[in-house]
Structure 1
Amino acid sequence: MKKLHYIAAFALGLAAVSCDVLDKEPSNSWESSTAIQSYDDLVYAVNGVYESQTSAIDNGSNYRGSYAGDFTLYADMKGSDYQCLGNNNQATDVSRYQATPSGSVSADNFYKRFYLSIARVNKVLEGVKEAGLEGEDVNAQLGELYALRALFHFDLARLFAKLPSTVDDWENEPGIVLSLETHDSDYIGTRSSLKATYEAIISDLGTALGYLQSATTTNNGHFNYWGALALRARVYLYMDNCGGTDYNSLALQDAEDVINSGVYSLYERD
C-alpha cells in the first residue's frame, strides 16, 4: 500500500512539473502577437524579410522566383536571343518557348515569392506598432521595411502590369494588387489602377526616406538612405511623363543626390 502512495505522489508531482517544464512554447516559433517586444526582436524580424528572398519560404525546397534565384535572369531568359547550353534541364523550357505556369521558370513563382515577402513586412510593421517601439535605431529598421515593400511592389508591377510610359491613361489601366496591411489567409485582393500602384510605391519610398535620414553610411545587404533614394529615381524613370508630371527631372534630381553624396562610385576596370 505504501508503494501505491509513493507512485500516486510521484504521478501528481510529475503532472505539476509538466505544467511548468514540459508545456513550453516551441523554440523555433513565436506567437505573432508577442514576437516583437524589443529592438533586437525587430532586427531579427527585418533580417527575416531579407531572408525571404534568399531561401525557400514555403516549407519546401523551391528557391525560384527570388532575388537569390532566377528573378534577375528572367528578362534575359525570355528574350529572343537567349540560348540554354546547360544540361541540367532547368531552363530549356524557356529557351524553347515552351514555358508553362508549372514550368521551371514561371511567373507564378515570382508572384508567390514577392507577396509572401510583403506579408512579412506588413506583419513586422504591425508588431512594431503594437509593441510601441520608438527611437532612431527603430526608425532605421522601419525605413528598411518601407523601402523593401516599395521594392517588392515595384518588381511585381514590372512583371504583372504595363509600364506607365507605354499607356495613354494610367488611371484606368490595371496595375497590381497592393498589400499595405495584414490580411486574413482567405483575403482576396483586387487590382489597383496603374496610377495607384505607382503612387503607393512612391509613398512608401517617401516614408522610408523619412525614417532613414540618419542611415547614410553603407550597410552591405541592407537598405540605407541612398539605396532608397536610388530606387525612387528608378521608379520615377518608369513613370516618365504620366499625368503631365515630368518624373524624369525628379529621377535626375534623386540620382544626382546619390552621386554627389560621395558614398558610392562606379566600378572601374584597369
Structure 2
Amino acid sequence: MIRYTYKYSQGADKWIFLFCLFSLSFLTTSCNDWLDVSPAEDRKKTEIFSKADGFRNVLVGAYIRMKSTDLYGKEMMCETVENLAQHWNVRTSSSVEAYLNKYDYRAKEVENVMSKIYNNLFKVVADVNGLLGSVDNGVLGETDYNLIKGEALALRAFCHFDVLRLFGPMPTETNSDKILPYVKEVLNRPNAFLTYEQFTRELLNDIDEAAACLKKGADPILTNSIDDLNRASKLSDSFWGYRQMRMNYYAVCALKARVVLWMGDKAKALECARIVIDAKTPAGTAMFRLGTLNDCASGDKILSSEHIFNLKVNDITVSLGSGKTYQKTQSQLRSQLYESGTTDIRFVN
C-alpha cells in the first residue's frame, strides 16, 4: 500500500501533503501483478485502515499520483495526448514528439512514454483498490463511507476509461477478443483480460455505484455553492471542501456522459450531461457556467466557473521549444471546435 498523511492549510486554497512509507510495485506492463504480501505488510495495511484518517490519506494519495508528470500533470494533458492528436508540427524528426505524431509505436521512445502512462494509470487504480478492499471494515461513519467509497470508485472508472481510450479498440471495431484487464482487487497474480463488452460493463457499474454512493452520502456539492465549498468555515468538516478538485457527484455524471458518448449512445450522454448543465446552487444560479470576460478581468484566468473536476498542478512545464508550431490554422480551429454563431469568449477573442 501507499500511505499518506495530510494537513489542510486553513485560509489557503490548497492541501499540503506529507508523504509516508511504502511503495507500489508493478512487475508487468499488462496489469498490476503485485509482489507477495508479507504478514508484516498485512499488519501495516490493517493499521492504515484502522482509522478514518487512513482512508482519507490513501484517497488523497491517489489524487497526488494523478498529478504526476507521467499522468495528468503533463503527458495526459499537454504532451503525449496532444502529439497523438497531431496538434503540433514537429521539426525534430528523431524526437518522441515526432514519433508520436507519426503514430510510430515501435520507436523505443514511444514505448517508454506509453508504458509509463499505462503503468501509472494502474498504480492509481491500485491505490484506490487498496482502499476499497477495506472500506467495509466498519471503521467509517455513514457520510465518510459513502463519500470516500464513491470517490474511489469514480477514480477507478476514470483511469480505466483512459486506459480503454488509449490502449483498447475503437467502439466501432470491437469483437470478442480479450482486450484489457479491469482491475478491482489488489492481487499477487496477473488480472484476467476482458472483452470490450465485459470491460465497459465493469466501467459503467463503477460509475453508477459511485454516483449512488455520493448521492446517498449527501455530497456537499449538492447542497452548497462552489464559493461556500471553497471556504472551510462554511463546512463542519473541511476535508469535504473544494469539491471541484475532487470526484464529486457532478463530475461522476460528466464522466458517464463521456463514457456513453464514446460508446455511441448520444441520447444517454445528453441525459447525463443535462444533470451537470442544469445543476443549481442553493440560490438558484447555475452551478457551472461558461467563463466570461468579467471573470478574466477579475483575475480568474482559468475560468473556474467551468470546472467540474480538476487537479491543481502548479509546476507544469511543456517542452514546446523552437521545434514545435501549432498545426491547425485559425480557420480550421474555428470550424472544428465551435458551433456557428457561438458567443464563447475563446471564439470571439
TM score, norm. by length of structure 1: 0.74
List structure 1 runs of 4+ shifted beyond 4 angstroms: 95-101
Where does the alignment leave 5 or more consecutive residues of structure 1 unmatched?
1-26, 56-62, 241-246
CA shift for structure 1 position 97: 5.8
Q: Secondary structure at the match of 1:180?
A: coil
Q: How do residues 147-226 of structure 1 correspond to structure 2 at under 5 angstroms?
A: 147-164=154-171, 166-167=172-173, 170=175, 172-184=176-188, 187-213=189-215, 214-217=218-221, 218=226, 219-226=243-250
Root-mean-square deviation (Å): 2.6
Quick check: 2:90–2:97 contact (8 Å CA) kept in 1? yes
Where does the alignment leave 5 or more consecutive residues of structure 2 unmatched?
1-19, 23-40, 227-242, 280-285, 293-344
Q: Secondary structure at the match of 2:180?
A: strand
- Take 1:141 and 1:128, find their aligned partners in 2: how far apart are those partners? 8
Choose the corresponding residue for 1:252, options 266, 270, 273. Answer: 270
CA shift for structure 1 position 173: 4.1
Q: Secondary structure at the match of 1:208?
A: helix
Quick check: 2:257–2:270 contact (8 Å CA) kept in 1? yes
Instruction: Report the counterpart of residue 103 of structure 1 in structure 2.
Output: 109
Instruction: Report the counterpart of residue 8 of structure 1 in structure 2.
Output: none
What is the one-letter code of the residue matched to 2:67?
T
Aligned: 1:70 with 2:75: yes
What is the one-letter code of the residue matched to 2:155?
L
- Take 1:145 and 1:81, find their aligned partners in 2: how far apart are those partners? 33
Percent identity of paired positions between Structure 1 and Structure 2: 22
Aligned: 1:237 with 2:261: yes
Deviations 1:77-122 (A, max 9, x none): 0245532369xx6635434665646416632111101111111111
Instruction: Report the counterpart of residue 33 of structure 1 in structure 2.
Output: 46
- Take 1:222 and 1:134, find their aligned partners in 2: how far apart are those partners? 20
CA separation of 1:98/1:257 partners in 2, compared to 1, >3 Å: closer, same or farther?
A: closer
Work out the number of aligned pairs and report it.
225
CA shift for structure 1 position 210: 0.9
What is the one-letter code of the residue matched to 2:269?
A
Q: Secondary structure at the match of 1:83?
A: strand
Q: Secondary structure at the match of 2:66?
A: coil
CA separation of 1:96/1:207 partners in 2, compared to 1, >3 Å: closer, same or farther?
A: closer
Deviations 1:183-223 (A, max 9, x none): 11xx1223201011111111001110011111151413201
- Take 1:267 and 1:122, find their aligned partners in 2: how far apart are those partners? 36
Quick check: 1:175–1:196 contact (8 Å CA) kept in 2? no
CA separation of 1:34/1:159 partners in 2, compared to 1, >3 Å: closer, same or farther?
A: same
CA separation of 1:35/1:265 partners in 2, compared to 1, >3 Å: closer, same or farther?
A: same
Quick check: 1:36–1:131 contact (8 Å CA) kept in 2? no
Instruction: Report the counterpart of residue 244 of structure 1 in structure 2.
Output: none
Instruction: Report the counterpart of residue 10 of structure 1 in structure 2.
Output: none
CA shift for structure 1 position 148: 0.3
Higher RCO (CA < 8 A, seq sep 6+): 2
- Take 2:98 and 2:107, find their aligned partners in 1: how far apart are those partners? 14
Instruction: Report the counterpart of residue 48 of structure 1 in structure 2.
Output: 61
- Take 2:128 and 2:141, find their aligned partners in 1: how far apart are those partners? 17
Deviations 1:115-142 (A, max 9, x none): 1111111101112223542311331111
Q: Secondary structure at the match of 2:150?
A: helix
CA separation of 1:264/1:81 partners in 2, compared to 1, >3 Å: closer, same or farther?
A: closer
CA separation of 1:108/1:267 partners in 2, compared to 1, >3 Å: closer, same or farther?
A: same
Deviations 1:40-67 (A, max 9, x none): 2211110011111123xxxxxxx32x01
Quick check: 1:142–1:211 contact (8 Å CA) kept in 2? yes
- Take 2:127 and 2:196, find their aligned partners in 1: how far apart are those partners? 24
Q: Secondary structure at the match of 2:72?
A: coil
Quick check: 2:99–2:107 contact (8 Å CA) kept in 1? no
- Take 2:185 and 2:58, find their aligned partners in 1: how far apart are those partners? 16
Choose the corresponding residue for 2:88, options 82, 87, 104. Answer: 82
Quick check: 1:39–1:138 contact (8 Å CA) kept in 2? no
What is the one-letter code of the residue matched to 1:77?
N
Aligned: 1:122 with 2:129: yes
Choose the corresponding residue for 2:97, options 91, 100, 103. Answer: 91
What is the one-letter code of the residue matched to 1:255?
A
More strand by share: 2
